[in-house]
Amino acid sequence: MGKSFCSQFVVAIAIRLILINSSYQKGIAERVEISTLLNSWKRVTEGVALYQEGIDPYTGDIFHETPIALMFLNFLITNIPQAIGCVFVFCDILTAYILYLAATVYMKETFDKQKKEMANYAKGIYNLLLNENDFNTAPIYVMSVYLFNPFTILNCVAFTSTTFANLFLSIVYLSMVKGYRICSCLALGLAVLQSFYPIVLIVPVCMYISQNSYNKVTSVILTLSVFVYTMMALLYLSYCIIGDWKFIHSIYVAILTVPDLRPNIGLFWYFFTEMFEHFRVLFIFSFQLNATLLYLAPLSLRFHSDPLLLATNMQQSFIIACSIVVTTVLGPTVWHLWIYSRSANANFYFGVTLAFATSQIFLITDLLFSYIKRDFYLKYGVMDGDERVKLKLLLE
Amino acid sequence: MRYLPISVIVLVFNFCVTLCEIPKDEYHEELFIKPLPHTYIYSYFQFTTLWDTPFHGRTFDHCHLFPHPLGELIARYDVKELHVSLTKGLWRHETWGYPVQEAPPGAEVWAWFKQGTSNIDNKWKELTGALSGLLCASLNFIDSYNSMSPQLSLRPFGIDNVKTPTNSSHLRYSTLPREIVCTENLTPWKKMLPCDSRRGLSALLNSDHIYNTVYHSLGLHFRPICMNKDCSVTGLELKQTVSLVYDLIITGRAETHWSIQRLFGSGIGSVCPLAVTSLIYIDVTSNQTGNIFQLNPKPLDTVISTRGGHSSTIAVYDMNQMGDGKLYNIEATYSKNRVYGINAPPVLFTSRYITGYGQEFGGIMTKIHNRHWQPIKILFLENIPWFVPVYLHTLKIVSNGREIKPLLKKYIPGKERVRPYYLELMIELPARSLTSVSLQFEYAFLKWQEYPPDANHGFYMGAAVITAMLPVARNYTSLPQDGSLILSSINATRESYYIRVTTEVLIISLPTPDFSMPYNVICLACTVVALAFGPLHNITTKR
């Protein structure tokens, strides 16, 4: 196992380094699918250049990184400009390894839980249970999915700050499953500081950490207050670095009000391009609520016992895989037709992003559904024939 | 008590003098004509009002020759100096030399507000709104998102406080490169002249002829000036200018002769009785270098003006001594067909264009030629609208293949829908060099309602401005800073010669959304959101 483990790392590092040093690096870094307003390396370079000129980078609207990131990247760019690629690759590999550790811990927990609850399970579900082999291979799968996911590779090669966001999130997961409160709050704070949306993860963090404590309410309050203090400390640190609160506007207002309508693989850009002016505020509110809070309550209520999910029983994986592959290929093609050949228009690209979003939604719903289905089977057993018709669980 | 009647008389007399004081103002009309290389003729009208009066809030309560509507604006918005130009066409420095008044294509306004003025941004907005009414131009579209306060390029032309010079926070500068200039601007502009367009040189400004030109520019320049040598008495100066460049091939028959009547559609009639001077200058320097022409009637006076090492010969006509009240014409007849020789370009000229292809990434390239044998320091002012987000780290100044560093750099990054990108550089151009200044930008994506009706026509980007003090006065026609009349530019040798060179206006074709799709896009995007909401709701509520 150690062999395959190492070889995976070697191959992943090799792919990244080769791409970083190839002539494709610039092209990849400029793709709209990868570099967005919030993470692009070109904008980081501009922000650092402005900072070095003595101009506050937050007065303009090109730079949207945090002041902490600004200091760090300024250090990278001025002191070790040759090693920037290595830093990004290192972060990415570290993320994969942390994910592996997190998955290992989580699998162990699940395995223990399974042993404990074995008595309650129905008969004939042995192939649904986890075995020793799963216990070993699942973390490896998690890691290789991260290491060889084309989107992660491209993000790393394009030097986007998503790489750092992933690192913070993986630390959040690891410290969450290990029950390290302060560590997870700190990592989550950094992730939230950078892109705001991870704030929804505070709910699973609170829930997971409170799982093993005697007084759940105190634990939740403690976690929340640690998180709030971390956030305050981080914001104040940012303020000290730049000496101004303008960065709040530049980062969070820019995320929440969608002022930049550059296309990306999301849906917001064209939706808000074509929006009628008097409905803009309404839709900004409803979409942002939709993206953050709307699903938080029901999902955390439903899956409170198991904040980290694991998939086994997916139905439509083939369709989803195909549509993700097709849209990934079609996206750049249609972009070229629109922006360079001028023979297509914005609708083509929007169509592709719609399909991409739909397939991702299917992926998530399918995952959740398969989880529920597994739960159901564990309780009532796998049925066949007439019984199955009676107790059919449908995605409707 | 004995002296009371006398003192009363003195008082009354004084009162009468104050009330019935004859305003100390003068009005001058001048026309300067210069044949340019090829088939172009440059004519420049300048109508100058000089007013010997202290400049304060109540100055414009009573105006004599000074246009009262303009005076009211100046008083109301605490303006100290005002420059407006409305231009159609591009002045081609490389072949035509320098004009008397430089102006970029479209509208350009800049104003200095008095020291101690509060709320300048509001006053600027209101001033441009009022000017838009006064000149029937779209100056009301000037707002914070297309205004800036250049710190170096623009200095007050008029008098300034020596101890505490007015700083750039009192300055607002804006251009509207898309502005179309036509008769509706000329008519209100002419109404501000004391003789309107009925008498004097302004009668030559017939809209059906001056809009046949390849370049025309209306100007309005107001500043406080010194009325004597040691500047103990100050006054006000208002210059109303019209610059026209005719292409003889376009104006009619393809012949080389030209005349006042052919250019302006009518001969010269009576003088404006309010004008102190009514002079016509014709630059006949080119008579010495090949294309010999005869002026008819013969000029009363010919002066040789030596300025900055270059001399020019100018024929002067005094309208008061001509015509005897009848219409008359001044014509230039060439003895043989014009020869189109090699043209010697001026010391400094520019060209500007957009680089790159596609609608994702592009660049702005400005090339600056220095043909002088010595290095020249210039100020370079970029005025980039917010929808062209530029990256300062891509700024590159290359001169004769070698990268050079600017001596000074001022930059304020732009902000979407709020503020343009302001970049000002001081560069020393090496001797006999071609320097290129380039910047990279990204094409912005706007909201569908922000595109103009003809979205695929493109978006205009204002001209860059290059300011320099030239050591020589070749091809130089501007007035010296201490002079008010064209007459003062004759034999006006100074240490250096101030020029502003404005570049081309650029058009950027931004990527457009499909304007017919708002409902469809809203419906489709909402459907996908519903697609996410439905199953999640289903899953989370199922038992």
Residue in B with minimal Cα distance to A61: B415
Closest by Cα among A187, A221, A193, A188 to A69: A193
A73: left (phi over 0), alpha (psi -120 to 50) or beta: alpha
pLDDT band, residue A378 (cuts 50/70/90): confident
Alpha helices in A317-345 (DSSP H): 317-335
Question: Which residues of chain B have a CB within 8 Å of the CB of A370?
Answer: none
> Domain-by-domain residue ranges, chain A?
2-305, 311-396
> Inter-chain contact B360–A358, Cβ cutoff 8 Å?
no
Question: Which A positions 174-203 lie with beta carbon below 8 A of chain B?
Answer: none
Question: Which residues of chain B have a CB within 8 Å of the CB of A345?
Answer: 512-514
Sign of CA dihedral A118, A124, A126, A127: negative
Which residues face B508 on adjacent strands?
A: B459
A284: left (phi over 0), alpha (psi -120 to 50) or beta: alpha
> Inter-chain contact A59–B412, Cβ cutoff 8 Å?
yes
Question: Beta strand pairing status for B40-51 and B79-88?
Answer: unpaired
Question: Which A positions 333-372 lie with beta carbon below 8 A of chain B?
Answer: 338-340, 342, 345-347, 350, 354, 357-358, 361, 364-365, 368-369, 372
Burial class, B119, CB count within 10 angstroms (exposed 0-12 / middle 13-18 / buried 19+): exposed
**pLDDT tens digits, B337-377:** 767 777 788 999 999 999 999 899 999 999 999 999 999 99
% of chain A surpassing 70 pLDDT: 89
> Domain-by-domain residue ranges, chain B?
26-334, 348-508, 515-543
- Averaged pLDDT, A216-243: 91
Question: Which residues of chain B have a CB within 8 Å of the CB of A274?
Answer: 448, 513-514, 517-518, 521-522
- Averaged pLDDT, B277-295: 86
CA atoms of B181 and B462, how far apart (whole Å)? 16
> Inter-chain contact B541–A298, Cβ cutoff 8 Å?
yes
- Averaged pLDDT, A29-48: 89
SS3 A394: coil
**pLDDT tens digits, A247-286:** 888 888 888 888 888 888 888 889 999 988 888 889 888 8
DSSP secondary structure letter of residue B419 = B
- H-helix or E-strand spanning residue B12: helix B4-19
Residue in B with minimal Cα distance to A373: B539
Question: Which residues of chain A have a CB within 8 Å of the CB of B359?
Answer: 339-340, 342
**pLDDT tens digits, A161-181:** 999 999 999 999 899 888 888
Closest by Cα among B390, B394, B437, B392 to B410: B392
Q: Give the amino acid at A92.
A: D
pLDDT at A383: 55
Q: Give the amino acid at B71.
A: G
The answer to whether B111 and B171 are in contact (CB under 8 A) is yes
- H-helix or E-strand spanning residue B108: strand B106-113
Q: Which two tokens stand for residue B439?
A: 């910047």
Q: Give the amino acid at B204.
A: L
Among the partner-chain residues A290, A301, A339, the one whose CB lies closest to the CB of B511 is A339
The answer to whether B459 and B508 are in contact (CB under 8 A) is yes
For A223-232, give one letter per residue: b (16+ CB within 10 A) or e.
Answer: beebbeebbe
Report the residue count for chain A.
396
Question: Beta strand pairing status for B25-35 and B277-283?
Answer: parallel
Question: Which of these ranges, A103-117, A311-325, B73-87, has the smallest mean pLDDT?
Answer: A311-325
Residue with the larger pLDDT of the pair B322 and B382: B382
> Inter-chain contact B392–A272, Cβ cutoff 8 Å?
no
Question: Which residues of chain B have a CB within 8 Å of the CB of A260?
Answer: 416, 445
Q: Give the amino acid at B169.
A: S
Question: Which A positions 263-322 lie with beta carbon below 8 A of chain B?
Answer: 263, 267, 269-277, 287, 290, 294-295, 298-299, 301-302
What distance in Å separates residue B393's CA from the closest CA in chain A? 6
> Inter-chain contact B542–A53, Cβ cutoff 8 Å?
no
Q: What is the DSSP string of B14-73?
A: HHHHHHTPPP-EEEEEEEEEEEPSTTEEEEEEEEEEEE-S--STTGGGS-SSS-HHHHHH
Q: What is chain A's Cα-based Rg?
A: 23
Question: Which of these ranges, A152-161, A294-303, A311-320, has the smallest mean pLDDT?
Answer: A311-320
Sign of CA dihedral B184, B185, B188, B191: negative
Among the partner-chain residues B413, B522, B531, the one whose CB lies closest to the CB of A55 is B413
Task: Out of A282-296, B275-289, B390-404, give the one with best mean pLDDT.
Answer: B390-404
DSSP secondary structure letter of residue B508 = E
Q: Which two tokens stand for residue B519?
A: 């409902």
Query: What are the percentages of helix, strand and coil residues in chain B, rounded to 5?
Result: 25, 35, 40
**pLDDT tens digits, B141-188:** 999 999 999 999 998 988 887 788 888 999 999 999 999 998 999 999
- H-helix or E-strand spanning residue B501: strand B497-502
Burial class, A338, CB count within 10 angstroms (exposed 0-12 / middle 13-18 / buried 19+): buried
pLDDT at B162: 79
What distance in Å separates residue B442's CA from the closest CA in chain A? 10
CA atoms of A144 and A150, how far apart (whole Å)? 11
Distances in Å between the Cα of B127 and the Cα atoms of A169, B74, B349, B385 are: 54, 8, 33, 21
> Inter-chain contact B542–A372, Cβ cutoff 8 Å?
yes
Residue with the larger pLDDT of the pair B45 and A302: B45
CA atoms of A69 and A66, how far apart (whole Å)? 5
* Other beta carbons within 10 Å of A1: 8
> Inter-chain contact A273–B446, Cβ cutoff 8 Å?
yes
CA atoms of B368 and A63, how far apart (whole Å)? 31
The mean predicted confidence, pLDDT, of chain B is: 89
pLDDT band, residue B7 (cuts 50/70/90): low
What distance in Å separates residue B533's CA from the closest CA in chain A? 8
Residue among B446, B540, B543 with most chain A CBs within 10 A, to mutate: B540
CA atoms of A262 and A270, how far apart (whole Å)? 9
Question: Which residues of chain B have a CB within 8 Å of the CB of A200?
Answer: none
Report whether pLDDT(A385) > 60: no
**pLDDT tens digits, B457-515:** 999 999 999 999 999 888 888 888 888 998 888 888 888 899 999 999 999 999 999 99
Report whether pLDDT(B1) > 50: no
What distance in Å separates residue A361's CA from the closest CA in chain B? 6
The answer to whether B302 and B316 are in contact (CB under 8 A) is yes
Question: Which residues of chain A have a CB within 8 Å of the CB of B424?
Answer: none
Among the partner-chain residues A61, A339, A357, the one whose CB lies closest to the CB of B359 is A339
Question: Which residues of chain A have a CB within 8 Å of the CB of B528?
Answer: 267, 354, 357-358, 361
CA atoms of A194 and A189, how far apart (whole Å)? 9
Domain B348-508 coded CATH 3.40.190.10: no
φ and ψ of A244, to 5 deg = -165, 150
Question: Which residues of chain A have a CB within 8 Å of the CB of B541?
Answer: 298, 302
Report whether pLDDT(A126) > 70: no
% of chain B surpassing 70 pLDDT: 94
The mean predicted confidence, pLDDT, of chain A is: 84
Q: Which two tokens stand for residue A247?
A: 């960065």
The answer to whether B444 and B346 are in contact (CB under 8 A) is no
pLDDT band, residue A370 (cuts 50/70/90): confident
The answer to whether A61 and B415 are in contact (CB under 8 A) is yes
What distance in Å separates residue A389's CA from the closest CA in chain B? 18
**pLDDT tens digits, A181-202:** 899 999 999 999 988 888 888 8
Q: Give the amino acid at B205.
A: L
Closest by Cα among B415, B91, B41, B73 to A62: B415
pLDDT at A108: 84
Q: What is the DSSP string of B220-284?
A: EEEEEEESSTT--SEEEEEEEEEEEEEEHHHHSSS-S-EEHHHHHSS-B-PPPTT-SEEEEEEE-
Among the partner-chain residues B358, B359, B389, the one whose CB lies closest to the CB of A62 is B389
Q: Which two tokens stand for residue B253?
A: 């028959």
Q: How far is CA B143 from the centre of its chain?
A: 19
CB pairs under 8 A between A and B: 144
Residue with the larger pLDDT of the pair A308 and B230: B230
Among the partner-chain residues A30, A276, A301, the one whose CB lies closest to the CB of B361 is A30
Report whether pLDDT(B17) > 70: no
% of chain A surpassing 90 pLDDT: 35
CA atoms of A132 and A90, how far apart (whole Å)? 31
CA atoms of A160 and A43, how far apart (whole Å)? 10
Question: Which A positions 38-77 lie with beta carbon below 8 A of chain B?
Answer: 42, 45-46, 49-50, 53, 55, 57, 59-62
Among the partner-chain residues A50, A267, A277, the one whose CB lies closest to the CB of B525 is A267
φ and ψ of B242, to 5 deg = -135, 125
Q: What is the DSSP string of B281-339?
A: EEE-GGGGGS--EEEESPPSEEEEEEETTEEEEEEEEEGGGSGGGS-B--EEEESSPPP
- Averaged pLDDT, B304-316: 88
pLDDT band, residue A87 (cuts 50/70/90): very high
> Inter-chain contact A361–B539, Cβ cutoff 8 Å?
no
pLDDT at B101: 93
> Inter-chain contact B412–A396, Cβ cutoff 8 Å?
no
ipTM confidence score: 0.85
> Inter-chain contact A45–B393, Cβ cutoff 8 Å?
yes
Closest by Cα among B344, B358, B534, B75 to A395: B534
- Averaged pLDDT, B14-23: 53
Question: Which residues of chain B have a CB within 8 Å of the CB of A358?
Answer: 528, 531
Among the partner-chain residues B413, B447, B533, the one whose CB lies closest to the CB of A261 is B447
Question: Which residues of chain B have a CB within 8 Å of the CB of A294?
Answer: 533
Among the partner-chain residues A261, A302, A361, the one whose CB lies closest to the CB of B528 is A361
- Averaged pLDDT, A86-94: 93
Residue among B387, B392, B512, B537 with most chain A CBs within 10 A, to mutate: B392
**pLDDT tens digits, A48-70:** 999 999 999 998 888 999 999 99
Decide if A78 touches B, using CB distance below 8 A: no
